[in-house]
């Protein structure tokens, strides 16, 4: 059974994720590029991270 705190946390996270889903596609692509940078940074720092053997790179795309 969810406590009051858990319920509030669930609801606020749910509102946040729904608002992120409503962003424009263009904004989402920029977010994905930031996530790519983070993912590759973490991959480079952690030799045990899954997917390290895959050749991945941050998209080189024009902004705007």
Partner 1 sequence: MKKTLLAINSMLEKGIISKYAIAGGIAHFYYIEPSVTFDLDLVVSINSEANSLAPLSQIYDWAKERNYPSEGEHLIIEGIPVQFLLAYNPLVSDGLDHAVQVTVFEVNTFIFEAEYLMAIMLQTGRPSDNERLIRFLSEAEFDSDKLNSILEKHNLMNKYFNFRERRL
Q: Where are the beta strands (DSSP E) in the chain?
A: none
Distances (CA, A) of 25 to 3, 16, 33, 51: 36, 17, 12, 26
Among 12, 20, 44, 46, binds partner 1 (CB under 8 A): 20
Which residues between 38 and 57 bind partner 1 (CB under 8 A)? 38-39, 54-57
Residue 36, interface with partner 1 (CB under 8 A)? Answer: yes
Quote the CA–CA distance of 61 and 33 in Å, as a whole number: 9
Among 5, 25, 45, 47, binds partner 1 (CB under 8 A): 25
SS3 at position 16: helix
For partner 1, the binding residues (CB under 8 A) are 14, 17-18, 20-21, 23, 25-26, 28-29, 31-32, 35-36, 38-39, 54-57, 59-62
């Amino acid at each position: 059974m969810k406590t009051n705190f858990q319920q509030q946390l669930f609801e606020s996270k749910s509102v946040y994720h729904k608002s992120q889903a409503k962003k424009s596609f263009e904004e989402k692509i920029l977010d994905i590029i930031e996530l790519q940078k983070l993912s590759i940074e973490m991959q480079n720092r952690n030799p045990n991270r899954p997917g390290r053997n895959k050749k991945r790179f941050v998209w080189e795309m024009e902004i705007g």
